[in-house]
Structure 1
Amino acid sequence: MKERSIRIKMEKDDSLHGKFVQLTHLYYRNTFKILSETGIHPKQIPLLILLDKRDGMSQKEISEELHISAPTVAVSMKRMEKAGIIERRNDEHDQRMVRIYLTAQGKEMIEKSRKCVEENEKMVFSGFSESEMCLMKRFFDQMIKNLGGDDKHHCCM
């Protein structure tokens, strides 16, 4: 009942904020639904992509790169390690340092998640022309800039 009343409120809110909140909610709900088949949580995707680009990072490096607190990274790592997606190994040169590596299963998960996200993206952006997509990207970039974000710190597929 609570979710239904939230949805009704969002549908009635015609403000930009209301539309943005509704879009974000629906996008993540869809992404979660599509990814549920792979066993990946949407919040794990940036971490997977980062490790795909820079395998062998430390937990601290991951936390800094993704702008996520160390405890949050630790919880994700624990879940992903238990699922066989990543493994921890001591650094070859400094045994005190632990490095995070994707397993073969983790690399497969990246490919599956990319396909799922692409599928979701096609659905979300269907009906838009190439010029509208380009304009939308510029709007998104400006909003990111307005909020103090920096493109180079965001992982993309």
Structure 2
Amino acid sequence: MGFEFNSLEWLFPVFDRMHHNCLKEEIVKRGLGEVSNPQILFVLKNEMNNMSASQKELAEIIGISPPTIAISIKRMKKSGLIYQYPDEKDSRRNLIKLSEKGLAYIEECESAFNKVDRAMLMGFTETEREQMKQFYCRMISNLESLGAKPPAQFKKEHGTNDGN
């Protein structure tokens, strides 16, 4: 059986790419193009004590690979959104900390995300939104059973498997 356009398997990546592009466009339109991965800023502000974390912690919480987060961190350090400093408790690792500039960007980034997401979900009832949420959670669980690692925050909130 060949690949079918308009199938669910085709529509999902189309949706994912369009959502990503809309978010990126909104962020650039607001002059926030130097924020290569806004989730790093959100996690540092909302999840971490003293708005700092190791690169490994950030990768686990967000659910991306260490090499991927390393690229974003390098770009965001260069832009002055975050900075790196040695961990006082463990000299072998560095911590990433949110800068004042990064803190100032967060509110605008959140506003950009909210704008795109509100438009994307326009016309859906609360029942449909809840149903969609359940479908996404089930898909995440299915992917986890294939070996994918969900973000730590998802595991914490939904009590998923801790290692298959």
Over 3 Å counting, the alpha-carbon distance change for 1:23 and 1:64 in structure 2 is closer
The question of 1:22 aligning with 2:18 is answered no
The alignment of Structure 1 onto Structure 2 pairs a total of residues equal to 143
| Counterpart among 96, 102, 108 of residue 100 in structure 1 | 96
Task: Give 1:7's aligned residue.
Answer: none
Structure 2: runs of 5 or more not aligned? 156-164
| Counterpart among 42, 59, 62 of residue 49 in structure 1 | 42
Over 3 Å counting, the alpha-carbon distance change for 1:78 and 1:135 in structure 2 is same
Cα deviation, 1:89-125, whole Å, max 9, x if unaligned, reads 1223444431110001111222111110000001100
Task: Give 2:134's aligned residue.
Answer: 138
Cα deviation, 1:31-54, whole Å, max 9, x if unaligned, reads 11111132255x612222221121
Task: Give 2:112's aligned residue.
Answer: 116
**TM-score (normalised: structure 2):** 0.76
The question of 1:33 aligning with 2:25 is answered yes
Structure 1: runs of 5 or more not aligned? 1-11
Deviation at 1:28, TM superposition (A): 1.1
**TM-score (normalised: structure 1):** 0.80
Letter of the 1:82 partner, please give it: K
Cα deviation, 1:130-154, whole Å, max 9, x if unaligned, reads 1111111111111111111546444
Contact 2:61-2:152 within 8 A present in 1 as well: no
Q: What is the root-mean-square deviation in Å for CA atoms of aligned residues?
A: 2.2
Answer 1 or 2: which has greater helix percent: 1
Runs ≥4 residues deviating over 6 A:
none
Task: Give 1:73's aligned residue.
Answer: 69
Secondary structure at 2:123's aligned position in 1?
A: coil
